[in-house]
Amino acid sequence: MKFTARQIANLIGGTIEGDENVTVVTIAKIQEAEPDALAFFANPKYEAMVYTTNAGVLLVNNDFVPKESVKSTLIRVPDAYLAFTGLLEYAQKLLLSLKVGIEQPSFQSEGVKMGDNCYLGAFSYLGTNVKVGNNTKIYPQVFIGDNCEIGNDTIIYAGVKIYAGSKVGSHSVIHSGCVIGADGFGFAPQPDGTYKTIPQLGNVVIGDHVDIGANTTIDRATLGSTIIKDGVKLDNLIQIAHNATVQENTVIAAQTGVAGSAIVGKNCMIGGQVGIVGHITIADGTKIQAQSGVNYSTENNAVLQGSPAEDRSKHIRNLVAFRQLANMLTKLNTLEKQVKALENQQ
């Protein structure tokens, strides 16, 4: 689709400097943009590109003062990066709106209810009594088990498997390869050394505006629910175990594991390859550095690092001291020799 600078400015509430009738058909990086593209400038270190870019339209902050002439039509906004993000979202919605209807072959079991303007890709399977909200897009080869509920405006990408009884909210995104609702890792040791499987009878409940990265797994609860609350953002390759809870607006990076019945609070930021043991509570606002291992409940707004994790400032001091150990050992050996030499002289 084609948009003029004037149409874009009206959409994001910006002011124009230049030709308001210039037309763009795509969005691009500032260094790669052609005359039919829109780009943005927000980071001062890229200012030189403002004067060389071929972009037809360029978003800039209101306080930007050019030092040279600019070929592009400028649209000034309070926050160019935020406005650009909004345009990306708008473009994505336009593309998704084109995906409507039910492709064949696909299968819908008895009692399936689908809302308006949905898309169901080929080779997808919807189990008995599945409910799908309005404008939701389900891509090819998705499996959704019996009695699942999917909200409005949610996107489920190709190859996702959602086991029976799971619930997914509205405006959420689940990327390819995710498995939602597989059995929790529950086994009871027996006297003969074997393990007896504990039936996992609960489900998974995912809130609104949740993003779940590719190949992430969220296990169903033994009883009750494994819960991912509104606004949570999960990276690729994350494991959330049975009966765990991740509270609102928490962000977790790739290859992190959250063990069973752990509670991760609101507005936490958790780096990659973090391990969180079961049955503890990560308090609201906690920040955990990458590759840390947390085996105790935390206090609000803690900043942790290391394995076992500790206060980050303490961890850094300890790390500095650890790196001095070799020199300290050399000095200690030298002192021991000097002491022995003095003892031999007496």
Active site residue ranges: 242
Integer CA distances (angstroms), 124 to 108, 140, 229, 319, in order: 8, 5, 26, 52
* Residue 155 three-state SS: strand
Exposure letters 274-299 (e unless 16+ CB within 10 A, then b): bbbbeebbbbbbbbbbebbbbeeebe
Nearest to 278 by CA among 259, 256, 295, 296: 259
Nearest to 243 by CA among 196, 315, 186: 186
Burial of 272 (0-12, 13-18, 19+ CB in 10 A): middle
DSSP assigned state of 184: P
- Residue 21: φ, ψ to 5°: -100, 0
227 touches 240 (CB < 8 A): no
Helix then strand then coil, in percent of the chain rounded to 5, is 20, 30, 50
DSSP assigned state of 45: G
- Residue 17: φ, ψ to 5°: -125, 110
Nearest to 242 by CA among 256, 269, 255, 223: 223
As beta bridge partners, residue 3 has 24
How far is Cα 280 from Cα 273, in angstroms, rounded to an integer?
A: 18
How far is Cα 97 from Cα 149, in angstroms, rounded to an integer?
A: 21
- Residue 4's Cα: distance from chain center in Å? 33
